[in-house]
Structure 1
């Protein structure tokens, strides 16, 4: 199976390294500067179980030739518009496209372009890119895949066999759309809490903010339920536990990007969620307030 991973950052690099470690045929589609780095230095993966460096096959959009059996899209939302065109040579009659972005806007855009070849996917991993190296900060690593609806192409055994390697847990879901909504509801709640109060969870709770945190979680979960994908009890309790833990240094990745002045996913994650809430007639006052703050901050920067 020929596997194309679009992006060799924290997510694409970590899962790609695990696949390479087991001898899978992996190619990375990256920007020219990243391609030059990978060709010169290889892909260094710093994981909880050790550090290793792999020689890689890195190509740019101008060099891409296909088709591939599996195309994994592991970029942030800002890179998606270019990716929609860039991966075209890689997508053939038998290709499956599995995006690992958060939210749902990317699913709509990819399906509009590539139809039922697009499956649902999400990953859970704590990783970062540091001096060109992929660093996994916690042993947790899961990859969830599944058909978005009855029209999607089936997940054939060779694809699952190719993706099922040690180092992360492969989960095949019969409700991957529900899983995407569940994760999105949490990410939006975490973004609202940490961006609105501009602090860590521990400090927000210490300042008396736990009722507001719980209200934000309930607000985002009402939207998911109205969309037909209610958040399960276990996931709800995990969200509450993580976002109300005393002394916790947790902040959302959106908050970290905003504070650092980096490109961020405010509109892809929070803006799209608020738009879907309006379409479903679900009030989201805390989310709306956070969006005003983030948008005004962006205008003033």
Structure 2
């Protein structure tokens, strides 16, 4: 199988680079400065076992490839806010032998949140969800850092909305030859919703820096508890924190990489790169949506969603709101909600 990695940033670059190192054929899809850097200089992948540069074929869309191959796998790794544009671009792409990518090719959504696979299923017949546990960083064009060892990441994989098939097992086998653990599960959404709860802290981290002090950890616990109340009210199952710890064990240890600044996750990286957008609408905003549908107040997630979008739109620096100020605003949001 040939892997077309649509969105060669932190997650896509790490997966694509590791697949290429294991001998798999990989095409990177990027745009803007990342496209130019990858096209001209290759992908520089920084990991605990060293730095390598991979001169992989890089394109900015399907037209550069002509008709796609029947053995192609589309691995979607853009931020959720960019999913619709990617689906509209790649879905109609012709495939050798007839038909389109949306009709014939598997689409693997290696993204945070739960919305992208739902969007994809409107267009693509064969959609696979991935619960992405892959600590990686992309803040400089052409350079992706992945600090996990001995495994680079853990990628639970399954059909969307449920089930497994031979294609899922073949993709998982390729990933497991490429420094990942890739359990094929029939209930991948249960793992994705568990990851969603963890990602509710992304906005907090983007606004106020690493969630590692007493104030920040206490606020994240409140935000997560609000999310759990919403999922419980909606009847949505999610893997417990203990189940996630058992699955990961000590398989992924983070190793500081020389020259890689201490930063944060995907939302922090979006602010650091000054992209002008952030995925809060599909992380905290997913909890807000479900809360409104099921009658559960979500003042904390609404606050983080609103502030994260404001920071991205105004291109404010990541981590520039003191955590004490964020806690003050969170307390006020809960008081206002209680009075309404």
TM-score when normalising by structure 2: 0.73
SS at match of 1:70: strand
How many pairs are equivalent?
285
Match of 2:321 in 1: none
Match of 1:242 in 2: none
Match of 2:86 in 1: 83
SS at match of 1:177: helix
Match of 1:241 in 2: none
1:275 and 1:105 map into 2 onto residues whose CA distance is: 11
Say if 2:169 and 2:184, in contact at 8 Å, map to a contact too: no
Select 1:214's aligned residue among 205, 221, 231.
Answer: 221
Match of 1:246 in 2: none
The verdict on how the C-alpha distance between 1:298 and 1:17 changes in structure 2, with shifts beyond 3 A counting, is closer
The verdict on how the C-alpha distance between 1:152 and 1:299 changes in structure 2, with shifts beyond 3 A counting, is same
Instruction: Structure 1: state its 5+ residue gaps.
Output: 239-248
1:69 and 1:195 map into 2 onto residues whose CA distance is: 35
Instruction: Structure 2: state its 5+ residue gaps.
Output: 96-100, 247-261, 316-340
SS at match of 1:155: helix
Match of 1:118 in 2: 127
The verdict on how the C-alpha distance between 1:114 and 1:215 changes in structure 2, with shifts beyond 3 A counting, is same
1:293 and 1:230 map into 2 onto residues whose CA distance is: 27
Compare 153-162 and 4-13 and name the one that shifted more: 153-162
2:171 and 2:202 map into 1 onto residues whose CA distance is: 34
2:205 and 2:144 map into 1 onto residues whose CA distance is: 25
Deviation at 1:212, TM superposition (A): 3.9
Select 2:181's aligned residue among 156, 169, 175.
Answer: 169
Compare 61-70 and 288-297 and name the one that shifted more: 288-297
1:78 and 1:187 map into 2 onto residues whose CA distance is: 15
1:236 and 1:284 map into 2 onto residues whose CA distance is: 25
Deviation at 1:235, TM superposition (A): 5.7
2:221 and 2:56 map into 1 onto residues whose CA distance is: 45
Match of 2:320 in 1: none
2:14 and 2:240 map into 1 onto residues whose CA distance is: 28
Compare 25-34 and 228-237 and name the one that shifted more: 228-237
Select 2:105's aligned residue among 83, 92, 95.
Answer: 95
1:33 and 1:259 map into 2 onto residues whose CA distance is: 15
Deviation at 1:85, TM superposition (A): 1.8
Select 1:133's aligned residue among 111, 135, 143.
Answer: 143
Q: Does 1:15 align with 2:15?
A: yes
SS at match of 1:120: strand
The verdict on how the C-alpha distance between 1:40 and 1:103 changes in structure 2, with shifts beyond 3 A counting, is same
Match of 1:269 in 2: 283
1:292 and 1:24 map into 2 onto residues whose CA distance is: 41
SS at match of 2:78: coil
Deviations 1:1-35 (A, max 9, x none): 12211122121111111111121121122226544
